[in-house]
Amino acid sequence: MKSLKASTNITKTIIYVVCIFLAILSVFPFLVMFINATRSTFQIQQDSVSLLPSKYLASNWAVFKGKSFNPVVGFVNSMLSSGGATLCAVYFSSLTAYALVAYSWKLRQPFFTFILAVLMIPAQVTGIGFYQFMYRIGWTNSLLPLIIPAIASPSMVFFMRQYLLATLSLDIVNSARIDGAGEFYTFNRIILPIMKPAMATQAIFTFVFSWNSLFIPLILLTNSKKYTMPIMVSLLRGDIYKTEYGAVYLGLSLTVLPLFVIYFLLSKYIIAGVALGALKE
Amino acid sequence: MRNKGVNYAKYGYIFSIPFVLTFLIFSLYPTIFTAVIGFTDLRGMGRTDFKFLKQPFDNFVLILNNPTFRKSLGNTALIWIMNFIPQILLSLLLTAWFTTRRFKVKGQGAFKVLLYMPNIITAATIAILFNSLFGYPKGPVNDLFMRFGWLDAPTNFHMQKWTARGVVAFIQFWMWYGNSMIVLIAGVLGIDPTLFEAAEIDGATSTQIFFKITLPRLKTILLYVLITSMIGGLQMFDIPRLFLWGGPDSATLTASLFIYNQAFSGSYLYNRAAAASMIMFFIIVVLSVALFHLMRDKDEAKFRKAEKLRIRNAKKQGELV
């Protein structure tokens, strides 16, 4: 018994060492980034890893303003497109899921099977057709093609359906009917509030996913006034910043900052959401 | 409900209209359109007019024989494997540690939050950050390795093919192992706890419990992680593009990056890119079919179980009456 306890203690020590190492591995690159954002290019060239912030934040910022990188434009465009996509996805996925759960109609099962079938089909591999289509109708350099397609989000419909199956009692719907409520009114005023927890989780993921996406925005947006954040970021890889190390780190920090705020405010829900996503089968 | 004279079924159709319309226009149509473009001569920046080729499969034949496309598929597979094997092994190990009751690991919540964090950060940002971190001749990684004495002189990581592939694979691994771990832990928590209790009473060691009880019960979830990771890996684009533009010497050129370069640079070969896309699409469909069966079987199994229970209960009640 004693030796078991001893071996448990050794294993526990190993576990903590490994976990702490992995935690540092997660944080360290971002730490270097934030600190180097406050250091001058000369300091970074002398020694690129420092745990002490310096005082060159303002001068790094000044390097930016002279160049084409405009984080404010990117931030606004990303906010509009990700916010719009999230609203569309959450509302219409809930509506579709409600149609699948609350009503019995002939095509219900085939429709659900269809949603399962297209669950994993990514937009990226059909990007060429999508680009040509958008080009023809004049929707390139518009945020609309980043927002409207979110109305059909199969995986979110799937998730919302599972949630409704577990939580919705049709008695509520029936009593609303007896009180004379229309079906659409019932959905908006009674069902949506019930779905709030699921909507919140899904909203976070859709927002982050949309905020981070690069491929489709990159092929559609050529006007720098319409650039989203990830496209703005990709400019930092260009020649104009080749020797401006401090400015590059500052630019990267600016794009990460909003995500850090979201993550550390909502991490509890995000982790729970990831776990839930796995159990959706 | 049904005998009250109101037919509610039509609302099922009405409420599904926005989804179906959007899907048809923005998903199905572009898919078919991409397939069609693969059989045409559509190329050149800003062109929209096209003719079908006399030899309809020309683009497909050319793409399949294109050494760069083959190389890009090979790179995609290599980088995916180099990321997935360590990813699944580490996440399984962490899952075992976090769920074994004997260890009672403290601070699990904080560890999960930190290990998952890289997953939500913009991949484009991470690619450029790592490009800077592996800078040459001065860069954080070079500086650290020299400080620890692992390197005598600064190394130009960006010029070595295997190092570049390794870094891309490492970034993928680093961004995704936390996600896999959380998914697997959730899977373990879904296993009937009495199984573990029984095994413990029978004197099984925690290693035995993990390999004989936990792993077999995680089979579906492991398959789910595997397939979703494969589908995601096939589309790897942001990181290889922004880390080294697919270089050095096309060592990190992935299939998605190849398609992008065909269609949106050089001579804007939309038709070739479309043909390559369709080949990728076909691979993803095959993987999706596997996933679809996995998900549906579970759903149906649940349904059948509920049905059985209902019948049994009905029988029981019948007996009582």
Distance between A62 CA and the closest CA of chain B, angstroms: 20
What number is the average pLDDT over the span B287-315? 73
How many residue pairs bridge chain A and chain B with CB atoms within 8 Å of each other? 305
- pLDDT tier, B100 (very low <50, low <70, confident <90, very high otherwise): confident
Q: Do A129 and B11 touch (CB under 8 A)?
A: no
End-to-end Cα, chain A, rounded Å:
41
Class of residue B306 by CB neighbours under 10 A (exposed 0-12, middle 13-18, buried 19+)? exposed
> At A274, which helix (H) or strand (E)?
helix A245-278
Residues contacting B298, CB < 8 A, separation 6+? A281, B220
Closest residue by Cα to residue B170 from B93, B255, B84: B84
- Picking from A87, A128, A274 by the largest number of B CB atoms within 10 A of its own CB, the best residue to mutate is A128
Reported as a single tens digit per residue, the pLDDT across A31-86 is 999 999 999 888 888 888 888 888 888 888 888 777 767 888 999 999 999 999 99
| The pLDDT of residue B139 | 85
Q: Do B120 and A208 touch (CB under 8 A)?
A: yes
Q: Do B19 and A96 touch (CB under 8 A)?
A: yes
Are residues B243 and B221 in contact, defined by beta-carbon separation less than 8 angstroms?
A: no
Reported as a single tens digit per residue, the pLDDT across A100-145 is 999 999 999 999 999 988 887 787 888 999 999 999 999 999 999 9
The partner residue sitting opposite B274, judged by closest CB among A103, A128, A187, is: A128
Reported as a single tens digit per residue, the pLDDT across B183-194 is 999 999 988 989
Q: Do A120 and B182 touch (CB under 8 A)?
A: no
Residue type, A163: Y
Class of domain B72-265+278-290: mainly alpha
| The pLDDT of residue B6 | 65
Residue type, A208: V
Q: Is the pLDDT of residue B115 over 80?
A: yes
What number is the average pLDDT over the span A186-194? 93
* Angstrom distance (rounded) from CA B96 to CA B103: 10
Strand partners, B40: B52
* CATH code, A67-235: 1.10.3720.10
The partner residue sitting opposite B12, judged by closest CB among A29, A99, A125, is: A99
| The pLDDT of residue B321 | 46
Q: Do B22 and A44 touch (CB under 8 A)?
A: no
What number is the average pLDDT over the span B81-98? 96
Distance between A51 CA and the closest CA of chain B, angstroms: 12
- How far is CA B106 from each of CA B98, B103, B214, B225, B270, rounded to the nearest angstrom? 9, 9, 21, 26, 54
Reported as a single tens digit per residue, the pLDDT across A232-247 is 888 888 767 777 888 8
Reported as a single tens digit per residue, the pLDDT across B40-73 is 999 888 788 888 998 889 999 999 999 999 999 9
- The pair of structure tokens assigned to A153 is 């989000």
Domain ranges of chain A: 2-59, 67-235
What number is the average pLDDT over the span B71-95? 96
The partner residue sitting opposite B122, judged by closest CB among A44, A259, A276, is: A259
Percentage of chain B lying above the pLDDT 90 cut: 57
The partner residue sitting opposite B281, judged by closest CB among A47, A93, A126, is: A126
